[in-house]
Structure 1
Amino acid sequence: MTFTYEDWKARAAALRFRNDLFIDGKFTPAATRQRFETVNPGSGAVLTDVARGGGEDIDRAVTAARRAFDDGRWSRKSPAERKEVLLHLAALIRQNVPELALLDTLDMGKVIADSSTVDAPGSAHFFQWHAEAIDKLYDEIAPTGGRDLAMIRRMPLGVIGAVVPWNFPLDMATWKLAPALATGNSVVLKPAEQSPLSALMLAELASEAGLPDGVLNVVTGFGEDAGQALGRHPDVDCLVFTGSTAVGKMFQRYAGESNMKAVWPETGGKSPNLIFADADLDQAAEMAAFGIFYNQGEVCSANSRMLVHASVKDEMIDRMRAQAAKVVLGDPLDPASTMGSLVDRAHADRVMSFVEAGKQTARLVCGGERVTHMGSDAYVQPTIFDDVAPDDPLAREEIFGPVLTVQTFEDDAEAVRMANDTVYGLAASVWTRDLSRALDVSEKLVAGTVSVNTVDALSTYTPFGGVKQSGYGRDLSLHAFDKYSALKTTWIKF
């Protein structure tokens, strides 16, 4: 699929937006009839207005999901039957990649080169993978012996509440929906208010694929309204969430104050990238730039802290400056752009507040400026700071933008200590040609994923998630099914 800049602009102009909530198999306005605007951060133009769902709408969606679960229209289908529907959905996603990619690019500012080749096709892959896996998971028979039969079965939980972020709108929804639906649950999805459009189209495609009414419901709206109502709803059996650590803690509190529903959070990160003196510095610099500038740095596992051996720091700084200079900051719809806009002006304000403060406390290597493009000032240059103190907010807080900090270490022990000196534990990277060092350092790093001689290694085959205040939820791989099912023992004496 190769489209020119003009092709993408023409397709964007012809897009059809879905504007209402999707509940019980049909689009419907919010109970209050309230709406909110969703804005293209790349240009500042209003794309459309979307239904602003609230507590009453969440209750309608949960009721529909519970009814669909209890009557078995989906939950009691065989794994093979569920598989066929989800494979059909994967095929429909592939058929609609350009439109789905455009929705995410227009909604949150990511470059079309990524949304059309990574995000949208990846979502089809995730649905296909989980669909193919579900009829290959076997239940168990316990070794009781004698005249006893103890069967251990994996059972769907019921109604899943899923709250997803704006940085990967379609992908993050898919990471939750694919295993939840494959195991037979019903779902109420609350997309981020900044990026609701692809979730609504996904629900429409799921219905077209044969997913029964009520099994997937999408309620667009704000966290304080729809998000809180979903977290507190007494008939939601499990809440899965990707987003900030602060909001993850709120969902844990909502669960404790309501029905003690399981909460699986995947939250913030401040991932270290350890560059040892024996590393391939050219490759390390290229991947380090990808690790912080990809998706405008709006990645929870972004390698935002570069820890480099003092003997090669100057060489790495030179290489990183050169990598930053290669970034093409521009219209997200232009295939030549390699970095688009941040998700909105408010987030750009937040990122720039860190940058401006950092100019007083650290050495600015490159970038550090806000850029206005097509009338929008939500663009921020790729930015690198050197000589960053360990207690500087630049090094400690999740900025969620294209801002890299550089710190130095003298030996392996100091590198590990610095890497682990954070409240987060989502990901880490290690660059060395020494296999013993790679294994030793990786073992000591406190992170959910450690990538050696690459950054942010990720696959459907391996679990993704963190430790400490990065949460404890795991997406992807066969382990994702554990969040959406419970083990039930049936013991028979005969």
Structure 2
Amino acid sequence: MPEMTPGTALPETPREFGFFVDGKWHKGQEMFDRHSPAHDVPVTRIPRCTTDDLDLAVRAARRAFDDRRWSGLSGGARAAVLLRAAEGLRRRRDEIARWEVLENGKPVAQASGEIDHCIACFETAAGAARLLHGDSFNNLGDGLFGMTLREPIGVVGLITPWNFPFLILCERAPFILASGCTLVVKPAEVTSATTLILADILSEAGIPAGVYNVVTGTGREIGQALTEHVGIDMLSFTGSTAVGRSCVHASANSNLKKLGLELGGKNPIIVFADADLEDAADGAAFGISFNTGQCCVSSSRLIVERPVAEEFERILARKMEKIRVGDPFDPETQIGAITTETQNKTILGYIEKGKAEGAKIVTGGAALKTGHGRFIQPTLFSGVTPSMSIARDEIFGPVLSSFHFDTLEEAIALANDTVYGLSASVWSKNIDQALTVTRRVQAGRFWVNTIMAGGPETPTGGFKQSGWGRETGLLGVEEYTQVKSVHIETGKRSHWITS
């Protein structure tokens, strides 16, 4: 473990933010401090908003939607704002990355790469704003013409998580805005800074007042109130399946608002004996360690063909032992800090459960002592059986469970033996084998001989209890629209009442 060297990157005093409603900054009546999970020093002061503040934001978003200051613009005009916002992200890339590191604990190199992805999201959404369209039906006979219109659904509530506060915001917000909707965003209370910085960037890009609003506070109070709010037409939530289920109940008990949900995952990485084992091991190490494993698409279940299982676990363990864990401001760091104390305890608890239930630790399995901050070694378990807690539950940390299989059918059955279906990966040089697995494993995102690849052009989302709906790409704009069928009669009506 390298020595922590925070240097000059830490703020001398916490940066204080307001919340953003109707194009203006508002002071919070109450504030709470966020401490850096890597350095244990206060870095931001964020408003603890009230439900009255939320009501103010929803009313502002409703006015902005109803008077058509945004939805009434052409797709090209909305695209121009989104492209200017992308340029704003470029100019403030280092600033945004810094606050992601300070509040979340992720490595600065990773945070900077995420901002590049966020810029691509805005540019893709700008193109999608121009391409969004309905359809026509010229097959209804000479007297009738039909068409479908795609219209923005209205005011959207967006609740984002603490693991990718800016990336997930940018995989949602620009596509929602491209559709013509207005937004009320509630970021995770421990990682709110960059969502508030985006308010500045969008304002400078020319977005009208009331179109993008940010209300900060706890999930228990503000998040729940946003989910239940009758002034919200659609809610997009990213987080745990348990909280996603509560969103369904809240929607049913309020105004039956539409939901977009990206929830938990227990994602398989399937390695066949004919795979390039060095490549697959590197992919597996990256897949479980990226963002310290606090990633809904982390490949947390290794399913490896038995003849090469022992060799593969040795190669993988060597890879994982070389991962650089430490100060997230060190550009060489690959794994930073665990974002919250609660999550830190959860991960360590699952490591203890794995040992108690009979799994064998191949490498890792402990917290790293640094004098400050929260760090956990990348951990590989072998001898895991499907009934174990570490095999079934989403741990949300750098903990990988290894299973062995003998046949293709067994590999597919193991991969599908979960309530989740968010992502999956297969490693094989046999295209027939790889394609069979790709078509039969239940997952919304799939990678062949790679992992966590792709861009915002393609849709994301899950199967089964991993969520509803799709984000990013053109589908990610259509998700926030509703379809209206229109019929136009041409010529004279054939009368129903004739005399």
TM over 0.5: yes
Greater shift after overlay, 14-23 or 217-226? 14-23
Which of 13, 18, 23 is the aligned partner of 1:25? 23
Letter in 1 for 2:107: V
Shift in Å, 1:15: 9.2
Q: Which residue of 2 aligns with 1:367?
A: 364
Shift in Å, 1:7: 12
CA distance in 2, matches of 1:359, 1:100: 39
Aligned length: 486
- Contact map agreement 1:18 1:200 (CA 8 A) in 2: no
Shift in Å, 1:391: 0.5
What is the TM-score with the length of structure 1 in the denominator? 0.96
Q: Which residue of 1 aligns with 2:420?
A: 424
CA distance in 1, matches of 2:80, 2:127: 9
CA distance in 2, matches of 1:146, 1:217: 48
CA distance in 1, matches of 2:92, 2:16: 15
CA distance in 2, matches of 1:133, 1:127: 10
Letter in 2 for 1:131: A
Q: Which residue of 1 aligns with 2:494?
A: none
Within 5 A, what are the aligned runs for 1:76-95? 76-95=72-91
**1:220 counterpart = 2:216:** yes
Letter in 2 for 1:193: E
- Contact map agreement 1:15 1:99 (CA 8 A) in 2: no
Shift in Å, 1:371: 1.5
Unpaired runs of 5+ in structure 2?
A: 491-499
**1:278 counterpart = 2:274:** yes
Letter in 2 for 1:46: P
- Contact map agreement 1:89 1:206 (CA 8 A) in 2: yes
- Contact map agreement 1:18 1:197 (CA 8 A) in 2: no
What is the TM-score with the length of structure 2 in the denominator? 0.95
Identity %: 39
How far does the alpha carbon of each residue in 1:340-386 deviate from its partner, in whole angstroms, 9 at most, with x for none? 0010222101100001121222101111111132512x110111111
Which of 55, 59, 65 is the aligned partner of 2:55? 59
Shift in Å, 1:291: 0.5
Within 5 A, what are the aligned runs for 1:192-203? 192-203=188-199
CA distance in 1, matches of 2:50, 2:304: 48
- 3-state DSSP of counterpart to 2:479: helix
Letter in 2 for 1:367: G
Q: Which residue of 2 aligns with 1:151?
A: 147
- Contact map agreement 2:263 2:467 (CA 8 A) in 1: yes
CA distance in 1, matches of 2:282, 2:386: 25
Closer, same or farther: CA 126–7 of 1 in aligned 2, 3 Å: farther
**1:398 counterpart = 2:390:** no
Shift in Å, 1:458: 2.9
- 3-state DSSP of counterpart to 1:38: strand
Q: Which residue of 2 aligns with 1:111?
A: 107
- 3-state DSSP of counterpart to 1:373: coil
- Contact map agreement 2:104 2:163 (CA 8 A) in 1: yes
How far does the alpha carbon of each residue in 1:382-426 deviate from its partner, in whole angstroms, 9 at most, with x for none? 111110121100110000000001110111111111111001001
How far does the alpha carbon of each residue in 1:443-482 deviate from its partner, in whole angstroms, 9 at most, with x for none? 1101112211112333212111111110122111111112
- Contact map agreement 1:25 1:213 (CA 8 A) in 2: yes
CA distance in 1, matches of 2:91, 2:16: 18
- Contact map agreement 2:14 2:44 (CA 8 A) in 1: no
CA distance in 2, matches of 1:16, 1:81: 38
RMSD of aligned alpha carbons: 1.7
Q: Which residue of 1 aligns with 2:94?
A: 98
Q: Which residue of 1 aligns with 2:493?
A: none
- Contact map agreement 1:43 1:374 (CA 8 A) in 2: no
- Contact map agreement 2:124 2:457 (CA 8 A) in 1: no
Unpaired runs of 5+ in structure 1?
A: none
Greater shift after overlay, 137-146 or 250-259? 137-146
Q: Which residue of 1 aligns with 2:469?
A: 473
